[in-house]
Structures are given as C-alpha cells and as structure tokens.
Structure 1
Amino acid sequence: MTFSICVRERYTDDAGDGQVRFGVAVTTRLPGVGALCPFASERGAVATQSHTNVDLGRKGLEYLADGLAVEDALDALLAADEGRERRQLHGVDADGTFAFSGDECGERFGHRVGQNYTVAGNLLVGPAVLEDVAAAYESTAHGEAPLAERLIDALAAGQDAGGDKREDLPVQSAAVLVERTEEPGRLGPFHDDLRVDATETPIADLRETFEAAVRGHEDALARYDVDE
C-alpha cells in the first residue's frame, strides 16, 4: 500500500554547533497516510506500514526518547507484535538504521538500507520504485534545498517508477515530516510537517503545498513581526 523513506542528516546551525535532522516521507493509494505511517522527533524517524500498526511508530519514538538505539527499540516492538509478519517497519536514529519487512506483506515488497537512510515499500509495481527513491535521495543528500523538499523529490522518483501497483484506487495521499535536535520544542519551519490526505495527484499536491507554505511564511515575515 505504501512506500516511504526515513533519513538522518548532520548539519551545523547558525551558531556553529553540530545538529541532526530527521525526516520521513510517505505516499500510498489510500487516504490519510499522514495520520498513520510517518513518525519523527529530535531522536529519530520511523515509518510503519503494510498492515499498519500505529503503536509501532508511537512507541518507537518513546523508546528512542528513553535512550534505546533504533535497532533495539524497533526489534523489541516487533518481537512483541503477533502480526509482525504482516508489518513493514523502518527508521533511523542519531547513529543507526533499522528495516524490517515481514514475509506476509503482500506482493512486491522490500526495503533498502543506505548510508543514513532507509526505504521500504509494498504492493509496488517492481523493485525500481525503491531503487529510484534511494537514488533520488542520495543525489541530493548534500544539497542546499530543505530536507522536506528533497524528500518530496525522492517520493516523486518512486512515483515516476510506477509506485503503488493498485491503479484501481485513484484516491491517494502523501506526507512529509522533519524534526531536528536544534532547540527541541521550538517551532520549526512551517514546511516541515505537511500532509495531503485525499487526492488523485499526491506528490504534485504535496509539492504545491510545500511551495505554498514557503511562500506564505516569507509573506508573513515580510508583512508582520512574526517570531520564528
């Protein structure tokens, strides 16, 4: 039903301090994926999909906040999940990566683990979807564009490769979420948490929403005294 990507990027903030940002982006041929699959905090990013168990994402972030490594956190959650063979679960934290695809995830499913990222999908037209998502992210991993924008580009590459094979389901959705270690709890960029819940063109609409969010933020800064 879904393909997604989780990433970790290190960067230097305006004060010269080292920081980490975590991002997750997802799309599917069903409505409302942003409420179910993508999870992120200043400790990591997680995506839960296939026969989705939202608790795996929520508790995964809780375990990361408690200091567990992402491999230990997500593996422990799967070990306690009776439906684990129908799950896909993957993610990153400050140091590690984790990806799991159960044997009962349906047709044409799989995952990829790269340097600082994970990709997973199921019910895909073929393996090129995951390969193209990974390649698109790798090609921009050190780019200057915002991470949210680059994650949308990665989803677009997977969509261009065929994406979800269920062409009889026209209503789709997509979401992107970015969190960072820089001043946890501080309001981040307004383009870092965006969803398109029901549309026939999810990636194009998510990109348009991102561009509108950037433009709206710039307009607000220009016209009013807005605290960032």
Structure 2
Amino acid sequence: MKRLFMFLIILTSLINAQIFKTDSPLAHTYSIVAIDPETGDMGVAVQSHWFSVGTIVSWGEAGVGVIATQSFVNASFGPHGLELLKSGLTAKEVLDKLISEDEGREFRQLAILDAKGNVAAFTGKNCIQPAGHITGKGYSVQANLMMNDKVWPAMSKAFENSKGSFAERILDALDAAQKVGGDIRGKQSAALLIVRAKSTGKVWEDRLIDLRVDDSNEPLKELRRLYKVHQAYQHMNNGDLAVEKNDMNKAMQEYSTAMKMFPENLEMKFWTAVALANKGNLEKALPMFKEIFKKDKNWKTLTPRLIPNGLLTVDENTLKEILK
C-alpha cells in the first residue's frame, strides 16, 4: 500500500511537470532586461539553445517597459505584462500579479523593467538548475538550465562594468554568460530588442533595434555582426534623409561612414559615389562607379534611373562619363 501511495505521488508529479512541458514553449536560457540611464531607452536580450528564442522570450514597448519570460515559458506574460504596465502598475506589481495567477509559477522565470527603471524578477523553484537572477540598478539578469551558477553573476558584472553604448553593454552581458559556460545544451538563437524611452506613436520608429538570430552555430557572434550592419544602415538611412533635404554634405558624410564600416558592400559604395558626383567630385566618384559596375552591371542599369527623381543631379555629359 505504501509503495502504491509513493508511486501515485511520483506519477502525479511527472504528469504535472509534463503539463508545463507540453503547454509551454521550452526556452531555458539566459537574458537581460535593462534601461539606459542616459536616454531612458529600454532593452531586452536573450540567448538559448532553442529555435527562434526571441519570438517567445523578449517583449517590449516604447514608453512602457521590457519583459523576459523564460524557462517553461508562459508566453502570455509578455503581452499581458505590457498591458498591465501601460495601466500604471510598477514592474513589481505586474510581476506579483502575473506570478500569483499562474498555477505553473514554480516552473517560470520572469523579469520585468518599467519605463521608470523599476525592475523585478522571479525564479521558480522548479526551474532546471542551475537557475537564478540578480537585479541591480536599472537592470535584471536571469538564467536557467546553465552549465554552472556563475552565469548570471558574470552577466551582472559585465553589464555594470562595460563602457560601450547601451546596446553594446547588453551584448557584453550575453557574451559574459557564454564565456563562463552558458546554456548547458549549447547555442542556437539570440535576440536584441531596444525601444524608445517615450512612444512617438509610430511603432516603426519606436523600435530602435530589433534583431534576431533564429538558428545559428554562433548566435552571439551573428547578433554582433547584425548589430554592426544595423549601425551602418542607420548611416545609410540618415544619408537618404539628407538627400531628400538636398543636404549633400550631410549625405556624403553619412554614406562615407557606412561605407567605411563595410567597404565591400556595393550599395553603400554606390550611394557614396552618387553623393560625390552630386557634389561635383568626379575625381573620386568615377573610379568608384567603375569598380561597382565591374562587379555588378545592375548598378550601371540603375544609375540613369536616378536622374528623373533628382537623386542623381548631373548633366547629360557627366552621366555619359559615369556610364562609360
């Protein structure tokens, strides 16, 4: 009878555990939520040995906050948590409400940061060990199913001591986690999301950075590469805006900065050459056009099409010289 009783207890525990494994996405991982003390921008970043971790773990909205929901993920914590923050609750109040209403709370790991920099975190006792979190001034780092218990302390130290930009400090925290062991299963996906301190009402402008690596042998290295590409294309976008305003000096500066970051990128090189031609600096522009056209003739086909809308402001003879 005693054996039967013990068997039923064990069976019940296994069934309960399996419920969360079945109903909840598995995102055993390490992550960080943080606020930039200088701008008020907020960020959340994550890495896991799980496909497309950024689609279920990281959530954020400008002027509201950022959330990381992980372990046996209750994905509703993301959108529901943001709605509660928007209603005026603090990060701690939202976390307490979400956790208290979730019967699977002990399998969850959750971190919330609100627009005022308040932060709260929770690690359920049934998260796969090693698991834990550290909250600091304007940030929280959390991890579960790690190689060892050094992961989240390493993240905390890296974020606090990093001297780079806000995005780079967040990426440094992820790198620090990996250096001391990271996810015991290895690496697969990563994500970085940064939103504005205050909403402009334009969602497409409020997400300052939104990068995901869904499946890679080196997701953190790839995330770093994408961040660099993102920075370069920001300069390209700034250059385009300057062209719209007929500020060719500004356009030239922005395009050149982007090109220096990725000198082999033909598009960046092409628009730099266009800006040079528009300024009348054919001495520098012509060799660049020649190199670009040699590598990809489609850019040569495109060039005359820029004349009617004023993106290339050269006369007919100069155009012929460029295409020659």
TM-score computed with the length of structure 2 as normaliser:
0.62
Counterparts of 1:27-42 in structure 2, within 5 Å, are 27-41=47-61, 42=63
Q: Does 1:150 align with 2:166?
A: no
User: What's the secondary structure of 1:89's corresponding residue?
Assistant: strand
Distance in 2 (alpha carbons) for counterparts of 1:26 and 1:202: 10
Distance in 2 (alpha carbons) for counterparts of 1:102 and 1:75: 13
Query: What RMSD over aligned residues (CA atoms) do the two structures have, in Å?
Result: 1.9
Q: Which residue of 135, 151, 160 corresponds with 1:129?
A: 151
Distance in 1 (alpha carbons) for counterparts of 2:209 and 2:149: 28
Q: Does 1:9 align with 2:36?
A: yes
* Larger Rg computed on CA atoms: 2
User: What's the secondary structure of 1:10's corresponding residue?
Assistant: coil
**Larger fraction in helix:** 2
Percent identical across equivalent pairs?
A: 35
Q: Does 1:214 align with 2:231?
A: yes
Match in the other structure for 1:120: 142
Match in the other structure for 2:293: none
Match in the other structure for 2:87: 66
Match in the other structure for 1:16: none
Distance in 2 (alpha carbons) for counterparts of 1:174 and 1:191: 17
Distance in 2 (alpha carbons) for counterparts of 1:118 and 1:160: 19
Structure 1 portions without partners, runs of 5+: 12-18
Match in the other structure for 2:133: 111
Match in the other structure for 2:182: 163
Q: Which residue of 159, 170, 191 corresponds with 1:175?
A: 191
Match in the other structure for 1:15: none
Distance 1:90 1:189, change over 3 A: closer
| 8 A Cα contact 1:190 1:213, kept in partner | no
Distance 1:90 1:139, change over 3 A: same
Deviation at 1:208, TM superposition (A): 0.2
Distance 1:47 1:107, change over 3 A: same
| 8 A Cα contact 1:2 1:164, kept in partner | yes
User: What's the secondary structure of 1:81's corresponding residue?
Assistant: coil
**Larger fraction in strand:** 1
User: What's the secondary structure of 1:54's corresponding residue?
Assistant: coil
